[in-house]
Amino acid sequence: MIYEHAELRINPGTEEEFLKETAAVRSLLLAARGCHSVELQASVDIPGTYLLRVGWQSIEDHTVVFPGTAQAEDLYKILMAHCVEAPHVVHFSGQDVLNPQ
């Protein structure tokens, strides 16, 4: 399991509309092969900034399989209609390095 962290900076004035569309964002992602979880968290210190955290079975599910899907195309349209710039994306392992099992 890996986690995609995408920092989203929302265009001023579109935040309310963006939040209304988050159900569609969640549905699109959860319909994708290998997607297990979707969370959206608001920044407490940078207004209009959100962390989209998506759990994927593998990095390939996100970086190889997902980009060629209809879900990815629809998701991109929604996000880019509201984002100041393309999201900054970083992938993390699902393993806690402080408590290795």
Q: What is the pLDDT along the chain (101 residues), one digit of tens a residue?
A: 999 999 999 999 999 999 999 999 999 999 999 999 999 999 999 999 999 999 999 999 999 999 999 999 999 999 999 999 999 999 999 888 888 77
DSSP per position, 34-75: TEEEEEEEE-SSSTTEEEEEEEES-HHIIIIIGGGSHHHHHH
Burial of 51 (0-12, 13-18, 19+ CB in 10 A): middle
pLDDT at residue 100, as a whole number = 77
- What pLDDT, on the 0 to 100 scale, is given for residue 96? 84
- What pTM value is reported for the model? 0.91
Q: Which residue has the tokens 């940078």?
A: 46
| Cβ proximity of 26 and 68 under 8 Å | no
**Domains of the chain by start residue, with CATH:** 2-93 (3.30.70.100)
Quote the pLDDT of residue 86.
93
Distance CA 75, CA 51 (A): 15
Tell me the C-alpha distance between 96 and 19, whole Å: 30
